[in-house]
Amino acid sequence: MSDSGIADYLPTYASYNWTGSPADYTLATNAQTGGDSRVENLNKWYQSGDTAYIIISSCLVLIMVPGLGFLYSGLARRKSALSMMWACMAAGSIINFQWYFWGYSLTFSPTGQSGFIGDLVHFGLKRVLGNPSPGSPLVSSLLYSFYQMQFCCVTAAIVAGAVAERGRLMPFLVWTFLWATLVYNPIACWAWNANGWAFKYGVMDYAGGGPVEIGSGMSALAYSMVLGKRQEKMMLNFRPHNVSFILLGTVLLWFGWLGFNGGSAFGANLRAVMACWNSNLTATMAAITWTLLDFRLARKWTMVGWCSGTISGLVAATPASGYVDTWGSIVLGIVTGVACNFGTKIKYWIRIDDSMDVFAEHGLAGMIGLMFNALFGVDYIVGLDGVNTGSSNPTTGTGIGGWPIGNYRQFYIQLAYILACTGYAFVMSAILAYIVNYIPGLHLRASEEAELLGMDDDQLGEFAYDYVEVRRDYLAWTPQRTEQYGADPDLPQEDRHGIGEHSKMIKEGSNDAASSGSGSGSGTHNGRFPAQGDRHAVALEDQEKTKHLADRESHGETLTTPAEKKSA
Quote the CA–CA distance of 145 and 188 in Å, as a whole number.
Answer: 13
Yes or no: say if 70 and 252 are a contact pair by the CB < 8 Å rule: yes
Q: What local confidence, expressed as pLDDT, does residue 158 receive?
A: 98
Residue-level pLDDT, tens digit, the chain, 568 residues:
445 544 444 445 545 444 344 677 777 788 888 888 888 888 888 888 999 999 999 999 999 999 999 999 999 988 899 999 999 999 999 999 999 999 999 999 999 999 999 999 999 999 999 999 999 989 999 999 999 999 999 999 999 999 999 999 999 999 999 999 999 999 999 999 999 999 999 999 999 999 999 999 999 999 999 999 988 766 656 788 999 999 999 999 999 999 999 999 999 999 999 999 999 999 999 999 999 999 998 899 999 999 999 999 999 999 999 999 999 999 999 999 999 999 999 999 999 999 999 999 999 999 999 999 999 999 999 999 988 888 899 999 999 999 999 999 999 999 999 999 999 999 999 999 999 999 999 999 999 888 888 899 899 988 888 655 455 445 544 554 545 445 555 556 555 555 555 566 656 655 444 444 444 434 444 444 444 444 444 555 666 677 777 777 777 666 555 555 555 5
The model's pTM is: 0.81
22 preceded by cis ω (within 30°)? no
Yes or no: say if 312 and 290 are a contact pair by the CB < 8 Å rule: yes
The candidate with the shortest Cα–Cα distance to 448, out of 143, 128, 203, 232, is 232
Task: Decide: helix, strand or coil at residue 114.
Answer: coil
Residue 441's CB is within 10 A of a number of other CB atoms, namely 8
Report domain extents, the chain. 48-460
Q: What is the CATH number of domain 48-460?
A: 1.10.3430.10
Q: Is the dihedral of CA 264, 268, 272, 276 positive or negative?
A: positive
Q: What local confidence, expressed as pLDDT, does residue 529 receive?
A: 45
Yes or no: say if 220 and 183 are a contact pair by the CB < 8 Å rule: no
Quote the CA–CA distance of 232 and 406 in Å, as a whole number.
Answer: 52
Yes or no: say if 294 and 305 are a contact pair by the CB < 8 Å rule: yes
Residue 34's CB is within 10 A of a number of other CB atoms, namely 23
What CA dihedral angle connects 182, 186, 187 and 192, to 10 degrees? 150
Yes or no: say if 246 and 71 are a contact pair by the CB < 8 Å rule: yes
Beta bridge partners of 140: 132
Yes or no: say if 468 and 537 are a contact pair by the CB < 8 Å rule: yes
Q: What local confidence, expressed as pLDDT, does residue 280 receive?
A: 98
Computed on alpha carbons and rounded to an integer, the radius of gyration of the chain in Å comes to 28
Quote the CA–CA distance of 472 and 498 in Å, as a whole number.
Answer: 9
Q: What local confidence, expressed as pLDDT, does residue 35 receive?
A: 83
Quote the CA–CA distance of 177 and 197 in Å, as a whole number.
Answer: 24
